[in-house]
Amino acid sequence: MSADGTILVTGGSRGIGAATATLLADQGHRVVIVDIAPEPLAGTSAILWPAPFDVASESAVVTGVAEIEQAHGPITGLVNAAGVFGKMHRIERVRMEQWDREVNIDLRGTFLVARSVGVAMAQRRHGAIVNVASVAGMTSGPIHAYTAAKAGVIQITQTLAAEWGRAGVRVNAVSPGFTRTAMLEAGIASGALNKDLLARPTAMNRLVEPIEVAQAIAWLLSPASSGVTGINLPVDAGYIAGTTWAAYGGLPDAPIS
CATH value at residue 94: 3.40.50.720
Distance CA 167, CA 123 (A): 7
Indicate whether 249 belongs to any domain: no
Q: In what order do the strands lie in the sheet with 127-132?
A: 47-48, 30-34, 6-10, 75-80, 127-132, 169-176, 232-235
Indicate whether 186 belongs to any domain: no
Indicate whether 199 belongs to any domain: no
Indicate whether 246 belongs to any domain: no
Angle between helices 109-124 and 144-164 (to 10 degrees): 10
Closest Cα partner for 85 from 8, 20, 149? 149
Active site residue 146: yes
Q: What is the pLDDT of residue 220?
A: 98
SS (H, E, C) 48-92: ECCCCCCCCCHHHHHHHHHHHHHHHCCEEEEEECCCCCCCCCCHH
Determine the Cα angle at 196 with ends 192 and 98, to 5°. 30
Greatest Cα pair distance in the chain: 60
Which amino acid, residue 46?
A
Which amino acid, residue 150?
K
Report whether 75 contacts 4 (CB < 8 A).
no
Residue ranges making up the domain that contains 30: 6-177+210-235
Indicate whether 137 belongs to any domain: yes
Indicate whether 242 belongs to any domain: no
For 196: left if phi > 0, alpha if psi spans -120 to 50, otherwise beta; the answer is: alpha
Report whether 75 contacts 69 (CB < 8 A).
yes
Indicate whether 113 belongs to any domain: yes
Neighbours of 233 (CB within 10 A): 19
Considering its fold, how many domains does the chain have in total? 1
| Pairing mode, strands 30-34 and 75-80 | unpaired
Distance CA 22, CA 35 (A): 15
Report whether 173 contacts 154 (CB < 8 A).
yes
Strands of 81-231 (E only): list them. 127-132, 169-176
What's 243's DSSP letter? G
Indicate whether 12 belongs to any domain: yes
Q: Which of 53, 111, 146, 178 is catalytic?
A: 146
pLDDT tens over the chain, length 257 residues: 445 799 999 999 999 999 999 999 999 999 999 999 999 999 999 999 999 999 999 999 999 999 999 999 999 999 999 999 877 778 778 788 887 899 999 999 999 999 999 999 999 999 999 999 999 999 998 888 999 999 999 999 999 999 999 999 999 999 999 999 988 888 888 887 889 999 999 999 999 999 999 999 999 999 999 999 999 999 999 999 999 999 999 999 988 77
Distance CA 18, CA 79 (A): 11
